Amino acid sequence: MLIDRNITFGDLEITVYDFEFEGDTLASHAHDNETTQITICVRGSVKVITPEWEKTLSEGNIIQFFPYQKHAITAITDNCRIVNVPIHYSNNKSD
């Protein structure tokens, strides 16, 4: 079972995903044109799958997803956890 929860620290909104069992999957998706996603594997190991490549992340590994980059994440061990940190970009920045 995949369990997610959102945590907010001021303007920073992160999502924690707990993969209870090997094979649990965060379905393929992409982020909008103003969001880059940083994903940190904090427990266990997961496989990251995009249309272009696959990569295994273990505890402490970090990966970046660019806007519109489709990706899915599957647990390859029981009791995995990833943390997603979005980085929002906007053309309407004020100095």
Per-residue model confidence as pLDDT tens digits over 30-65 = 987 778 999 999 999 999 999 999 999 999 999 999
- H or E stretch covering 24: none
- Range 66-90 average pLDDT: 92
pTM of the model: 0.87
The pLDDT mean for the chain works out to: 91
Residue pair 40/95 in contact (Cβ under 8 Å)? The answer is no
Cβ neighbours of 67 (radius 10 Å): 13
The residue with greater pLDDT, 90 or 43, is 43
For 52, the token pair is: 């272009």
pLDDT range class, residue 11, cuts 50, 70, 90:
confident
